């Protein structure tokens, strides 16, 4: 009896240990699984956050690119090719084309209103306190031949550059001029109002 009782007790103890061990193992497995699941979730959240951040940056860059006109993009490309920029970045452009600033037909001189507009341009430029490069683009209406309008557009751009240098104190090496002549209209040349809008100078500010 004693031997049988001892054997029964030993078997019971072993079974209890096995059951307890099994429960502990299951608990350990569950803990590990929960830990790995939480870590994976955190990693996925982090990846999703990075994706959203990158998409936001792309959206902003796309919006910025949409705001750049064709002639401004061409100015940026020219400045980059010539090594004139520190950052290769478009900042903004100003068009001297409202009713008081437009150039008269076949004229390249600045009106008092045009001078005031350029003074305001210089004031805003100084307020930014940044090293910039300015491309000054001259434009004309469609009256006259191509060669003449290229020269007229260049004279208009050069008039603005000279004023910005002499009155605004902007260094000449920070500016360049180019004439588009009549090749880049912003209005219909069929009407007097449209031709007046096309007689303009655009200031493209780059960095």
Domain boundary among 11, 45, 67: 67
Determine if the pTM surpasses 0.75. Answer: no
Q: Print pLDDT tens along the chain (207 aa).
A: 555 555 555 555 444 544 455 554 555 546 655 665 656 566 656 656 664 655 554 454 444 444 799 999 999 999 999 999 999 999 999 998 777 677 888 889 998 999 999 999 999 999 999 999 999 999 999 999 999 999 999 999 999 999 999 999 999 999 999 999 999 999 999 999 999 999 999 999 999
- Find the domain containing 44 and state its range: 1-67
pLDDT value, residue 36? 57
Q: Do 106 and 40 have their domain in common?
A: no
Q: Do 149 and 171 have their domain in common?
A: yes
Q: Do 59 and 115 have their domain in common?
A: no
SS3 141: coil
Q: Do 96 and 60 have their domain in common?
A: no
> What's the Cα-to-Cα distance from 84 to each of 23, 113, 117, 132, 193, rounded to whole Å?
73, 31, 26, 10, 37
Q: Do 29 and 94 have their domain in common?
A: no
Return the closest-CA partner of residue 189 out of 137, 140, 138. Answer: 140
Domain boundary among 13, 34, 67: 67
């Amino acid at each position: 009896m004693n031997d049988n009782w001892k054997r029964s007790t030993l078997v019971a103890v072993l079974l209890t240990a096995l059951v307890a061990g099994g429960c502990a193992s299951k608990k350990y497995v569950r803990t590990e699984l929960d830990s790995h699941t939480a870590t994976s979730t955190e990693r996925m959240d982090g990846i999703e956050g990075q994706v959203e951040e990158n998409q936001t940056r792309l959206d902003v860059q796309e919006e910025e690119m949409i705001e750049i006109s064709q002639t401004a993009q061409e100015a940026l490309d020219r400045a980059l090719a010539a090594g004139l920029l520190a950052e290769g970045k478009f900042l903004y452009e100003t068009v001297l084309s409202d009713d008081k600033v437009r150039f008269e037909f076949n004229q390249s001189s600045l009106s008092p209103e045009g001078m005031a507009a350029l003074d305001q341009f210089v004031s805003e430029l100084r307020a930014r306190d940044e090293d910039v490069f300015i491309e000054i683009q001259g434009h004309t209406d469609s009256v006259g031949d191509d060669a003449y309008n290229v020269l007229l557009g260049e004279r208009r751009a050069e008039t603005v550059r000279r004023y910005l240098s002499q009155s605004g104190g902007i260094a000449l090496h920070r500016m360049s001029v180019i004439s588009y002549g009549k090749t880049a209209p912003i209005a219909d040349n069929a009407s007097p109002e449209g031709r007046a809008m096309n007689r303009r100078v655009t200031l493209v500010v780059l960095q």
